Structures are given as C-alpha cells and as structure tokens.
Structure 1
C-alpha cells in the first residue's frame, strides 16, 4: 500500500549558486559525506547535487514531515539506481508510518533536476 508520494523540481542554477556562495557550509548542512564525495567525483557535479536535493525534498514530502536534510541520504544501488537511506528521526518517522520501502526516481538536464518518491508499507503492489 502506498503511504505517500512526493515530487520536487529544482533549478540546477539555484543549487550551483548556493554551493558557490556558501560552499562547505551549504554542502555539510544538506548532504552526507558520501553524497558530497559522489557528486564531486562527477564531471557535472552540480547536476548531481541538484538531483539529490530534489530527492531529499521529495522524500520529505512523501513522509509529510520535516526532518534534517542529512537524515535522508541518497545513495546508489548496485546497478547505479538511486536508493534512500533514512537515518535518525527520518527513520523513526518512516517506522511510525509503517514504511517498508521508498521507491525513488531521479532525472536531470542542464537546467532542472526532478525527483519522485513513493513510500510503501509492504512489498505487494
């Protein structure tokens, strides 16, 4: 059963400006060390930072509760597909709501990044 869905669209330029202006301060407030390392290793890192920002916001919307940005970590699965790792309060919120899995889809182009999150309570769809 679907518990919640969330979608977020981000202008890549907005994330780029925040990183350029605040650099380490912005990055360490929003992203985990693993996310920062992954994005910085990419040729167009700003696109990946923007996609992960959109993903975090989409998950927060799907769970319908505010939580620390770094408690929603976006990692890559074995095939490169995005996975959600809930930590701390975000994990507690998910458990309280009966969340078993978060499906996540990301896409980006030069100007925008978009993410959709679907939280389900069991594996049967």
Structure 2
C-alpha cells in the first residue's frame, strides 16, 4: 500500500544563485558527503545535479507529511544509488524516525525515487510503499 507521495520542482538557476552567493556553506548545510561528491564529479552540471537532489529532499518531506519540521532536516535525506544504479534515499535522524512512525506495524517501508532535469528545471517524485512482512515463517509457534 502507498503511505506517502511527494513531488517537487526546483529551479536549477536558483540553486546556482545559492552556490554563487553562499558557496560551500550552502552545500555543507543541505547536502550529504555522498551528494557533494557526486556533484563534484560533474563540474559542468553541478547545479543541476544538486537541484535534483534538493527536489528529492523536498519531495520526501512532503511524502512523510511534515515538510522540514518535526525533526526532519535536509541533511538527513540523502540521494544514493542502489546497486542497480537506480536512485533511492538514505535516511538518518529525524527523516528515518518519521518514516518509521508512519510505517504500519507488520510492514516495512520502501522508498521509491525518480528524478529528472531539463534546464532550468529539476524534478523529483517520491512514493513510499508499505509492504506487509511475511510473518508466517518467523519461527513463532515453532517447537524444537
């Protein structure tokens, strides 16, 4: 079942203006080391790379229903790549706690993320799915 849905549209030029004005202070405050390294490897599209990740953070905060309140901070939401290469989110702190709080008992949460950009726009969608755990093989009721 879907327990959260969020989207965001981010202007790449606005991110470039923040980079020009605040430099590393902006980057350090908002982006994880993994995200910073990814953007550094893309010097010609650095602002677009960061804008997509900014949009993903916003989309997640909407999907969990808090925005950036209730302990959910931007730096607790990091875009990483799964072994397949698909983008997903690594969550820590309040972002992880909020996901745990909205996940129904007996379920595990799976976060789906898609991002795209076409200058001057970057966009992200987050879908949070709750999957029922199979408790029939948990060993409960088994006797030795």
Q: TM-score range by the shorter chain?
A: over 0.9
Cα deviation per residue 1:74-95 (whole Å; 9 max; x = unaligned)?
1112232111111011111100
Deviates more, 1:56-65 or 1:74-83: 74-83
Give 5+ residue unaligned stretches, structure 2.
134-144
State the 4+ residue runs in structure 1 displaced beyond 6 angstroms.
none
> Any conservation in 2 of the 1:101–1:120 contact (CA below 8 Å)?
yes
Q: Secondary structure at the match of 1:114?
A: strand
Please give the secondary structure, in 1, of the residue aligned with 2:83.
coil
Residue of structure 2 in register with 1:91 after alignment: 96
What's the TM-score, normalizing by structure 2?
Answer: 0.82
How many residue pairs are counted as aligned between the two chains? Answer: 124
Deviation, structure 1 residue 63: 0.4
Secondary structure of the structure 2 residue equivalent to 1:44: helix
Determine which structure has greater relative contact order: mean sequence separation of CA pairs < 8 Å that are 6+ residues apart, divided by chain length: 1
Give the TM-score taking structure 1 as reference length: 0.94
Cα RMSD after superposing both structures: 1.4
Asked if the contact 1:101/1:123 (under 8 Å) is kept, the reply is no
Mapping of residues 36-115 of structure 1, within 5 Å? 36-42=36-42, 43-65=44-66, 66=68, 67-98=72-103, 100-115=109-124
Could you tell me which residue of structure 2 aligns to residue 17 of structure 1?
A: 17
Q: Which has the larger radius of gyration?
A: 2
Structure 1's unaligned 5+ residue stretches are none
